[in-house]
Amino acid sequence: HPRQIFSTGSRESLKNTDRKTMLDFYGRHYSANRMKLVMMSATPIDQMETLARNIFSPIKNTNVLASRPSSQLYDPADLPRLIKVKPVKDLRQLRLSFAAPTEDPYWHSKPTGLISFLIGHEGEGSLLSLLKEENLALGLSAGFDNERYVGEFEINVDLTDKGLKNPKKIIDHFFSYIKLQKQEGLKDQLFKEVQSLSQISYDFREHSEGGRVASNYASLMQRHHPLGIELNTKLYYHFKPENFQFFLSYITPQNMNAFLVSKKVDTDKTEEIYGTKYKVEKFSDEDIKRWKNPKTNTALHYPEKNPYIPSNFNILKQDYLAAPVKIIDTKRAKVWF
């Protein structure tokens, strides 16, 4: 699959590249109809338009069709599998990934954001809370890597020494939590909370560094109208429990890549570009059967209602103090308000 191609380049991988190879590649892929342009500057708009026309008009439109790689990232016969990786840094991580369709048609409801929000929740009843209680993990994050043609759930767990020795126990708890999500579904209360938080984050967002914004906008213009980028990518519009369940259906043991990353893992292969040591193992039929029908764990439940989401952002009128006032003065601390 194109996603497995070495994307950085090295002296070895580029040694047979010449001008003709470069121009042939350019001719196959570079055409004005496939490109998006973003310019950010303090220069007046009319001058920027002149610059854009002068500099970019020579790019020809050869009506090259956009390539669309297969959405089948992995050979089903290879999954599920455990890939042990020996890193350069002293890391202890368990990473789970699950390929899924692109989320582009579902941007109004953003189901993968809601699923990731629940998996990554850190409060009472959360997956991380249980893993910490059993001294298996120090931290957990979840997200969805989205492309035009495919997406992939990615869950990363920072392990304790005990967790490194018991990765299957962590996967047990993970699938118990996925079972809970499939049974409970998307709650209206949860959706409204995430919707409100996203609106607050949008309304009070900070300005980002210009180069990063320009690059991000140019990429997102391939999938969104320019004036809708901020709104379309950040806000939750429609409550769609069926979309939530649709993407959950891809988080299964049959669709899982598991990576165990540690200096202590045993390896038997070497990756040819970076020289990374690794080993690929198959899970047992017993493991897969257990994860297909995970146990219900009463320690796991959805987050309680969040009472701290504000709805009124008016600044209170009050007499502000002319100077800070000391409100705590003890041996341990001095605090000014």
Q: Are 256 and 152 in contact (CB under 8 A)?
A: no
Summary count for the chain: helices (H), strands (E): 11, 9
The pLDDT score that the predictor gives to residue 323 is: 86
Given its phi and psi angles, is residue 120 left (phi above 0), alpha (psi -120 to 50 degrees) or beta? alpha
Query: What pLDDT digit, counting tens, does each position of 308-335 carry?
Result: 999 999 887 777 777 899 999 999 999 9
Distance in angstroms (rounded) separating the CA atoms of residues 302 and 277: 39
Which long-range contacts does 116-122 make (Cβ < 8 Å, 24+ apart)? 116/142, 116/143, 116/144, 116/153, 117/194, 118/177, 118/181, 118/190, 118/302, 118/303, 119/155, 119/177, 121/303
Is residue 129 a contact partner of residue 123, using CB atoms and an 8 Å limit?
A: yes
Q: Which pLDDT score, from 0 to 100, does residue 7 have?
A: 79
Hey, what are 260's tokens?
């165990």
CA distance 244 to 182: 9
- Looking at residue 46, its pLDDT comes to 96
Tokens of 273: 């570009």
Spans of the chain below 50 pLDDT: none
Distance (Å, whole) CA 27 – CA 37: 19
pTM: 0.88
